[in-house]
Structure 1
């Protein structure tokens, strides 16, 4: 997904991690710079606060209807497998 989703230019330009994180810092740069938020039908988010003051932006990739998809247990096992991979993004 990282190769098809790019953060807005303003987010990259203002990124404290990319622009100001010291190379010799005790803690290295955060490894997660993007994550995928999946919402259910008719859901809506207009406000939330991210941990540590992280920048938040939304990009709607696809809106789809879920009927006829694999059973939920198959999808959950696929998600569990994917999330257990180090550096999945």
Structure 2
């Protein structure tokens, strides 16, 4: 059973947010959350629920499976941080 998410999740979110020219403030407003949560998520300190992920996907135009694969490692192919 996995207990730790992959370390690259937050980087993936930040990369795609910046690629779409969306600021932390804007995505926080669109997601109806705090900027501090976005910052912590991008640093890999917190991980969103599937419902929240779905909202992120709509904003960043990322396929669900692509983002979900970045949250939880699939051993033994990927190492979790």
Give the TM-score taking structure 1 as reference length: 0.25
Q: Which has the larger radius of gyration?
A: 1
Query: Please, what TM-score do these two structures have when normalized by structure 2?
Result: 0.27
Higher helix share: 2
